[in-house]
C-alpha cells in the first residue's frame, strides 16, 4: 500500500491518530523548508568530537580546554565571516571571541546561531550542526522535521565508545528507516591515536550494525571535507531520495498502527455487542415486568369497578327500601 505525505496526514486524521498527524505535518513542513542549497545535517552527542568538527571543518578556533554547550548552528559560505547569535534581543552579530565564549557557557540554554565563513564549503551547501548531550533533548517530531529538510546526514561518533545504547536506539528507530545508505555517513572520531588493529576492529563492528553500503569514515579533516563537497555533486540524486524515503517511513508508521487500531475497534465492537445483548436481556425483563404491572392494573381496575358498582347497587337498594317504607307508612296514616 503506497501513500503520499498528504494522504498519510488525511488518513491519520480520519483514524484520529493524532501523534501521526503531528509527525506527518512536521515532515511536510520540513520538506517545504528545503531550498536550492544542498542541506546537510551533522549530529553528535559527543563533546570532543563535535568540537573537533567545528574546529577542523568550520575553522572555529576552540581551545583545548573549552567544552561546547548544547547548540544548533547553521553554517553557510559567504563573502565575509559572520557570527550571528539568537539572543533575548533577537539575532545579533558578534565577534568570534564572543561567539566562542557564548558557545562555552555552561549555564546558557541551547545556543541557536549562524556562522558564515568565506569559502569553507561550496556555496551550494548549507550545514546544520546539532550537538546535544542526549538525543531526547529534541522531540521525535523535531527530529522528523530536521530529517525531512535534510538531503544527507552525518552522524559523528566517538571511537572510544562506538555506537552506545542511545546511538543504537536512535539509528535503529530513525536514521536507518529514513536514510538510504548514500544519504547517511558515519564519522568515527577520537581515532587519531588508535593503532591499526583497533581501527580495523572498530570499523568491522560499525559495518556489522549499519545498513549495507552505508559510508563509514574515520575522522580526518581532508576526507570529511571531501565527502561534504562531494554531496554537492550528488545534490539531485540525494534530493530525489528525500521525499520517497520520508514517505516510506511514515507509511510504515501508519501501517504499524493499523493492527492495534483494528484490535481496539474490535474490542470496542465486542463491548458494544455485549451492551446490546445486555440491553436486549434487560428489555425482555422490562417487557415482562410491564405485562405483570399491566395485569395488576387491569385487576385493580376490575376490582375497583366491581366495588363501585356494588356500592351503587347497595345504595339504590337502600334508597328503594327507604322510599317504599315511607310510602307504606303514609298510606296507613291516611287510612
Rounded-to-integer distance, Cα 159 and Cα 199, Å:
8
Q: Is residue 310 part of a domain?
A: no
Q: Domain limits at 107? A: 34-233
* pLDDT for position 301: 66
Q: Is residue 245 part of a domain?
A: no
Q: Is the dihedral of CA 128, 132, 138, 141 positive or negative?
A: positive
Backbone angles phi, psi at 239, to 5 degrees: -65, -35
**Spatial contact of 249 and 8, defined as CB atoms under 8 Å apart:** no
Q: Is residue 12 part of a domain?
A: no
* pLDDT for position 268: 58
Q: Is residue 49 part of a domain?
A: yes
* pLDDT for position 44: 96
Q: Is residue 178 part of a domain?
A: yes
Bridge partner list, 72: 112, 130
pLDDT tens per residue across all 335 residues of the chain? 567 888 888 888 888 888 999 999 999 999 998 888 899 999 999 999 999 999 988 888 887 777 899 999 999 988 888 999 987 778 899 998 889 888 887 766 788 999 998 877 888 899 999 999 999 999 999 999 999 999 999 999 999 888 999 999 999 999 988 988 888 999 999 888 788 899 999 999 998 888 777 889 998 888 888 888 888 888 878 888 889 999 999 998 888 888 777 666 666 555 555 555 655 656 666 677 667 767 766 676 666 666 665 666 566 566 666 666 666 666 655 55
> How many domains does the chain contain in total?
1
Q: Is the dihedral of CA 82, 83, 86, 91 positive or negative?
A: negative
Which CATH number goes with the domain that contains 196? 3.40.50.300
* pLDDT for position 83: 92
What's the DSSP call for residue 175? I
* pLDDT for position 23: 93
* pLDDT for position 43: 97
Q: Is residue 259 part of a domain?
A: no
Please measure the distance between the N-terminal and C-terminal CA atoms of the chain and give it in whole angstroms: 120
* pLDDT for position 3: 75
State the pTM of this model: 0.76
Q: Is residue 312 part of a domain?
A: no
Q: Which of 130, 294, 154, 134 is nearest to 229 (CA)?
A: 154
Q: Is residue 243 part of a domain?
A: no
Amino acid at each position: 500500500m503506497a501513500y503520499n505525505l498528504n494522504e498519510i496526514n488525511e488518513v491519520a486524521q480520519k483514524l484520529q491518530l493524532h501523534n501521526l498527524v503531528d509527525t506527518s505535518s512536521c515532515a511536510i513542513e520540513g520538506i517545504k523548508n528545503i531550498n536550492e542549497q544542498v542541506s546537510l545535517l551533522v549530529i553528535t552527542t559527543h563533546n570532543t568530537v563535535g568540537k573537533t568538527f567545528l574546529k577542523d571543518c568550520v575553522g572555529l578556533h576552540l581551545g583545548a580546554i573549552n567544552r561546547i554547550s548544547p547548540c544548533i548552528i547553521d553554517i553557510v559560505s559567504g563573502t565575509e565571516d559572520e557570527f550571528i547569535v539568537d539572543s533575548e534581543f533577537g539575532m545579533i552579530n558578534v565577534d568570534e571571541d564572543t561567539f566562542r565564549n557564548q558557545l562555552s557557557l555552561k549555564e546558557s540554554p541551547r545556543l541557536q546561531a549562524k556562522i558564515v565563513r568565506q569559502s569553507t564549503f561550496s556555496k551550494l551547501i548549507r550545514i546544520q550542526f546539532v550537538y546535544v548531550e542526549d538525543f531526547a533533548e529534541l522531540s521525535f517530531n523535531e527530529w522528523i522535521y530536521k530529517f525531512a529538510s535534510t538531503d544527507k546526514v552525518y552522524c559523528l561518533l566517538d571511537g572510544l565508545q562506538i555506537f552506545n545504547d542511545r546511538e543504537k536506539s536512535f539509528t535503529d528507530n530513525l536514521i536507518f528507516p529514513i536514510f538510504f545508505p548514500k544519504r547517511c555517513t558515519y564519522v568515527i572520531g577520537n581515532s587519531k591515536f588508535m593503532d591499526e588493529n583497533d581501527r580495523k576492529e572498530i570499523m568491522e563492528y560499525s559495518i556489522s550494525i549499519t545498513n549495507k553500503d552505508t559510508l563509514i569514515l574515520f575522522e580526518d579533516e581532508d576526507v570529511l571535507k571531501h565527502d561534504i563537497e562531494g554531496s554537492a555533486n550528488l545534490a539531485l540524486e540525494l534530493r530525489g531520495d528525500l521525499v520517497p524515503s520520508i514517505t516510506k517511513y511514515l507509511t510504515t508508521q501508519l501501517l504499524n498502527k493499523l493492527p492495534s487500531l483494528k484490535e481496539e475497534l474490535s474490542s470496542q465492537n465486542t463491548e458494544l455487542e455485549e451492551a446490546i445483548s445486555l440491553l436486549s436481556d434487560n428489555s425482555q425483563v422490562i417487557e415482562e415486568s410491564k405485562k405483570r404491572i399491566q395485569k395488576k392494573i387491569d385487576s385493580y381496575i376490575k376490582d375497583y369497578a366491581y366495588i363501585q358498582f356494588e356500592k351503587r347497587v347497595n345504595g339504590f337498594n337502600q334508597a328503594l327500601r327507604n322510599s317504599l317504607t315511607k310510602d307504606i307508612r303514609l298510606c296507613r296514616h291516611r287510612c
